[in-house]
């Protein structure tokens, strides 16, 4: 059995299928870990969701910020954005089935029997992996409950940016969602910034990428997406950035875990 990690698909279904063909992925024997943002901005979000769902236990998904926003649209909390190209998905006859499946997906995946984790945006410098797992599980329980609409409506906003100031259930939930699905940069004390999306070379000196805080020990691996400006480059050898901007005309990336080999598929944008 081979384990593969794939970066942000964002509706780039043809690139995903070509990449899985390239690595000879077998749904019977292999596992595909998807680093969030399955949907939005690309042309085929509906086909992407249907395919990943059809993989059953062979697919291990985490929710990204675009996936959560889609759920908020489905529940009537937010309006759909034209640039997200979700009209086919939102009018699909199996929409309810797809959304029921999507909201059941976790915020963190951990590989069995090893200290390897995956979340969409990373790990807050103010948390250990175990703290993140605990808070992710609490947030997942909220999203999977009969009060899902209430909790989805509470995830919007940028406060608190500091875990020490998350002093009630709603603020802890929002900090968890923001840390695991939106975070890129942090201030020196590990608190969150949401204004900067640039590459580290262009970022203000008051900010550092979350992975430069060295809060993940060398025996632990963390896989994430979300940050296309990195183009797969981050310094720590035990942290793997997989968003390589396919939806923006760059490429989709898969990491084969046992030998850490990368495979890419150039965006098909020019072919459409």
Residue 166 structure tokens:
């998350």
Nearest Cα neighbor of 258 from 47, 42, 33, 21 is 33
**CATH code for the part of the protein at 3-271:** 3.60.21.10
Q: Is the pTM of this model over 0.85?
A: yes
Nearest Cα neighbor of 245 from 266, 262, 223 is 266
CA distances from 124 to 90, 142, 147, 176, 218 (A): 33, 20, 26, 9, 16
Query: Please, which pLDDT band fits residue 272 given cuts at 50, 70 and 90?
Result: low
Average pLDDT of 190-211?
95
Average pLDDT of 46-62?
98
Residue 111 structure tokens:
């590989």
Q: Please state the domain extents for the chain.
A: 3-271
The C-alpha atoms of residue 154 and residue 229 are separated, in whole angstroms, by 28
Q: Which range (39-43, 104-108, 235-239) has the least confidence?
A: 235-239
- 150-153's contacts with Cβ under 8 Å and 24+ in sequence apart are 152/68, 152/71, 152/72, 152/75, 152/77, 153/72, 153/75, 153/77
Report the side by side order of strands in the sheet with 31-34: 59-61, 31-34, 3-6, 251-256, 261-266
Whether the predicted pLDDT of 214 surpasses 90: no
DSSP 162-200: SGGG--SHHHHHHHHHHHHHT--EE-TTS-EE-S--S-G
Whether the predicted pLDDT of 7 surpasses 90: yes
Virtual torsion, Cα 79, 81, 84, 88, nearest 10 deg: 60
- Is the CB of residue 53 less than 8 Å from the CB of residue 34? no
Residue 150 structure tokens:
């209430």
Average pLDDT for the chain: 97
Residue 238 structure tokens:
């035990």
Whether the predicted pLDDT of 271 surpasses 80: no
The C-alpha atoms of residue 168 and residue 193 are separated, in whole angstroms, by 21
The helix/strand/coil state of 132 is helix
pLDDT, tens digit, for every residue of 153-177?
999 999 999 999 999 999 999 999 9
The helix/strand/coil state of 212 is helix
What pLDDT does residue 269 have? 85
pLDDT, tens digit, for every residue of 249-270?
999 999 999 999 999 999 998 7
């Amino acid at each position: 059995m081979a384990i593969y990690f794939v970066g942000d698909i964002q509706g780039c279904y043809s690139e995903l299928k070509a990449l899985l063909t390239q690595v000879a992925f077998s749904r019977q024997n292999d596992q595909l870990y998807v680093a969030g943002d399955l949907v939005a901005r690309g042309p085929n979000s509906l086909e992407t969701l249907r395919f990943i769902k059809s993989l059953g236990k062979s697919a291990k998904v985490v929710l990204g910020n675009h996936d959560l926003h889609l759920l908020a649209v489905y529940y009537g909390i937010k309006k759909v954005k034209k640039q997200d190209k979700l009209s086919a998905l939102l009018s699909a006859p199996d929409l309810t089935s797809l959304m029921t499946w999507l909201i059941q997906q976790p915020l963190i995946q951990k590989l069995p029997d090893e200290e390897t984790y995956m979340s969409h945006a990373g790990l807050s410098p103010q948390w250990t992996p175990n703290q993140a797992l605990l808070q992710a599980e609490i947030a997942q329980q909220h999203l999977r409950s009969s009060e899902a609409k209430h909790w989805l409506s509470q995830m919007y906003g940028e406060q608190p940016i500091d875990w020490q100031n998350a002093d009630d259930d709603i603020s802890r939930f929002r900090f968890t969602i923001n840390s695991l699905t939106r975070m890129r940069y942090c201030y020196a004390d590990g608190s969150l910034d949401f204004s900067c999306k640039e590459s580290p070379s262009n970022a203000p000196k008051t900010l550092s990428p979350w992975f430069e805080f060295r809060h993940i020990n060398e025996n632990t691996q963390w896989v994430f997406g979300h940050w296309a400006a990195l183009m797969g480059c981050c310094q720590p050898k035990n942290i793997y950035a997989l968003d390589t901007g396919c939806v923006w005309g760059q490429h989709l990336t898969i990491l084969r875990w046992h030998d850490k080999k990368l495979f890419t598929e150039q965006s098909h944008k020019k072919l459409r």
